């Protein structure tokens, strides 16, 4: 007997639907987990250098300066939509969901609206967090739960919203496909009755007050069949304004006054704004002598005005790294309309500057990079090098030591182009030595250092204009700019890409290509810079290949490493077919098999890829293109893996 698609989906979600009632029952018969947090009683200690210690951490309180490319009142006017007129009238919150539109309003003023023109970028669950006393919009966010991984971010986000905030959720297009049980259960705890029933292309909306699940309202409209969407659905609720929140009982210091104001204006910052035992902005690393080269090497963080929470996470990791000099950090914010990213900089105590956007899409990002690099070398006139970070990168605890140790290589070797903290092939299963460095012909980015001479004499005069919608990093990788020079990268990366939203990334892409990268966690690690000049590196690589165990090429997608050799640090070599510099057919298939970077070709040196395989250093040698293929035994047939044939379309 044929079974309809809806019957199948209902069967899969049966446990979740039944769970609605169990969780709702438990909420009314157990202590409320959303009780307001208690007031902290931590003691703040002042240090002679102006730092403060909170709950064992230490924070530098340097003064923030801001360079704006637009009058301050313009940004303030753009922010006016955050603040709803205060009055005694109740707050009427509406959320509307449909295939083409998600909209949220407070007392008939629209605070969030995403239409069909947003395309896939507007798909998923849209969330607005509203101050329960003033009615001000505190935060908005979007979770594309059509793709894998977004529901975990949604779960974390919901758990970080503070009690008495009003939360409105609206769906545009589709939100059920990868909305897992944990996120659904969290919404049920908040009072949702319908979320357990949400299925393919149903529409759903919800309005709730955090900590008061009995005040929650949600509604759902069924999709009539697999190929169509549910009708538009709207839910509304009216909330009495709660008493004005005077903030946490934190010490009466400039920092905590600033933090209190920040947390009253914005939401979604979790533990940073909790009243009980608030963490330091960043724990101070253990005392250590200044790192060579770092006092005159500033760092710029490339940031958009739309991802301030990413920016805070990145800044906290940098401030916790050994050798960090906060006064050397500048955040370049692309955009002049929103204040939150700049307020993050003020809270942390670093300098911010703003870039008025030009161009669009990748061209806009490219113009922002040119603006920031020019500004940094102009601002720090004695700096011969600049480190470039991005707002969605964590820094390793030895981030600055890595650059301090590797920088002399760039200074002394004209065959080098840059130093990068990121290894494109540096996954948890493909790395093995925190001290090892490689030379690669591609510019990795994602935490990198370049020289004033390179930028001012070569790159800046030729930088693509606003009319070129190019990726800046792809442009820098072109050999007309690189000129056969190479970059130094570590075996184990000193940055970690955590951003799941952006122009060129989503939750699925982040999980597939970035989430399993390895970040060094050893603060005492020191990279080995021996044999890193061009001639010495090639000589050492030849010695390694000559002494390596040659892998069988018959089962390329298997382990290929004999059991007796696993995790023995035995050098391995694999010879594969590579007839010319542009012949990457076999490598891309092998990279896919071994779960390495396979979107394009990166991380090679003269036709050789180096990483770790089953706990052993391996060199994959392109034959006959690579000069290192001369070590291949004559009788050995190099590995060849054909790319799958493309399906023909009529």
Q: What phi-psi label fits residue 538: left (phi over 0), alpha (psi between -120 and 50 degrees) or beta?
A: alpha
CB-CB neighbours of 462 under 10 Å: 9
- Spatial separation of the C-alpha atoms in residues 372 and 362, rounded to whole Å: 15
H helical segments located in 493-548: 507-513, 534-546
SS3 content of the chain, % helix, strand, coil (to 5): 30, 25, 45
What is d(CA 192, CA 170) in angstroms, rounded to the nearest whole number? 13
Cβ–Cβ < 8 Å for 401, 291: yes
- CA–CA dist 177, 90 (Å, integer): 36
Q: How far apart are CA 332 and CA 302, in angstroms?
A: 5
b/e burial code for range 37-53 (CB count within 10 A of at least 16 → b): eeebebeeeeeeeebbb
Which of the following is catalytic: 42, 276, 471, 473? 473
The neighbouring-strand residues paired with 318 are none
Report the DSSP pairing between strands 233-239 and 212-221: unpaired
Please compute Rg for the chain using Cα positions.
Answer: 27
Catalytic residue among 392, 394, 424, 491: 392
Q: Is 42 a catalytic residue?
A: no
Of 560, 638, 556, 573, nearest to 611 by C-alpha is 573
**C-alpha–C-alpha distance, residues 548 and 280, integer Å:** 49
Catalytic site includes residue 473: yes
Q: What distance separates the 2 farthest-apart alpha carbons in the chain? A: 87
- By annotation, the residues acting in catalysis are 392, 473
């Amino acid at each position: 007997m044929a079974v309809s698609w809806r019957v199948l989906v209902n069967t899969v979600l049966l446990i979740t639907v039944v769970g609605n009632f169990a969780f709702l029952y438990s909420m009314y018969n157990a202590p409320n987990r959303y009780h307001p947090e208690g007031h902290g009683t931590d003691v703040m200690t002042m240090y002679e250098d102006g730092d403060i210690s909170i709950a064992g951490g230490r924070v530098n309180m340097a003064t923030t300066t801001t360079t704006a490319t637009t009058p301050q009142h313009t940004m303030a006017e753009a922010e006016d939509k955050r603040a709803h007129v205060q009055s005694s009238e109740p707050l009427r919150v509406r959320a509307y969901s449909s295939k083409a539109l998600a909209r949220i309003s407070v007392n008939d003023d629209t605070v969030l609206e995403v239409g069909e023109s947003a395309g896939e970028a507007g798909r998923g669950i849209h969330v607005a967090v509203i101050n329960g006393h003033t009615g001000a919009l505190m935060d908005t966010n979007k979770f594309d739960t059509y793709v894998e991984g977004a529901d975990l971010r949604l779960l974390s986000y919901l758990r970080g919203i503070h009690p008495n905030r009003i939360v409105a959720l609206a769906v545009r297009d589709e939100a059920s496909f990868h909305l897992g049980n944990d996120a659904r259960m969290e919404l049920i705890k908040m009072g949702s009755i319908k979320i357990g029933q949400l299925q393919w292309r149903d529409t759903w909306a919800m309005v709730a007050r955090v900590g008061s699940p009995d005040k929650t309202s949600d509604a759902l409209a069924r999709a009539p069949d697999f190929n169509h969407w549910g009708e538009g659905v709207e839910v509304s609720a009216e909330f009495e304004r709660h008493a004005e929140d005077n903030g946490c009982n934190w010490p009466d210091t400039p920092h905590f006054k600033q933090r209190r104001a920040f947390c009253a204006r914005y939401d979604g910052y979790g533990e940073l704004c909790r009243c009980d035992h608030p963490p330091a902005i960043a724990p101070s690393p253990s005392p250590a002598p200044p790192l060579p080269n770092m006092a005159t090497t500033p760092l710029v963080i490339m940031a958009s005005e739309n991802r301030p929470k990413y920016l805070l996470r990145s800044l906290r990791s940098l401030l916790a790294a050994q050798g960090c000099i906060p006064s050397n950090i500048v955040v370049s914010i692309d955009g002049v309309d929103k204040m939150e990213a700049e307020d993050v900089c003020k809270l942390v105590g670093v300098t911010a500057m703003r870039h008025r956007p030009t161009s669009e899409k990748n061209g806009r990002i490219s113009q922002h990079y040119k603006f920031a690099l020019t500004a940094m070398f102009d601002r720090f006139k004695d700096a011969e090098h600049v480190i470039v970070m991005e707002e969605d990168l964590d820094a390793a605890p030895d981030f600055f030591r890595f650059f301090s140790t590797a920088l002399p290589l760039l200074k002394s070797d004209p065959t080098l182009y840059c130093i990068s903290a990121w290894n494109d092939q540096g996954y948890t299963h493909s790395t093995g030595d925190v001290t090892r460095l490689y030379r690669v012909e591609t510019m990795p980015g994602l935490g990198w250092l370049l020289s004033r001479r390179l930028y001012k004499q070569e790159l800046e005069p030729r930088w693509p204009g606003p009319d070129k919608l190019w990726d800046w990093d792809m442009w820098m990788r072109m050999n007309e700019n690189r000129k056969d020079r190479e970059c130094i990268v570590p075996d184990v990366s000193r940055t970690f890409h955590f951003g799941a939203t952006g122009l060129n990334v989503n939750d699925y892409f982040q999980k597939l290509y970035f989430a399993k990268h390895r970040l060094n966690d050893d603060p005492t690690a020191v990279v080995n810079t021996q044999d890193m000049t061009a001639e010495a590196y090639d000589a050492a690589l030849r010695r390694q290949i000559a002494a390596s165990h040659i892998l069988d090429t018959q089962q390329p997608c298997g382990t290929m490493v004999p059991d007796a050799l696993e995790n023995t640090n035995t050098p391995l070599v694999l010879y594969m077919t590579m007839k010319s510099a542009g012949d990457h057919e076999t490598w891309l298939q092998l990279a896919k098999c071994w779960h390495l970077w396979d979107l394009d070709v990166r991380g090679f040196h003269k036709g050789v890829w180096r990483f770790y395989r089953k706990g052993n250093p391996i060199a994959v040698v392109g034959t006959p293109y690579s000069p290192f293929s001369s070590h291949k035994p004559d009788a050995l047939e190099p590995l060849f893996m054909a790319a799958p044939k493309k399906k023909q379309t009529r």
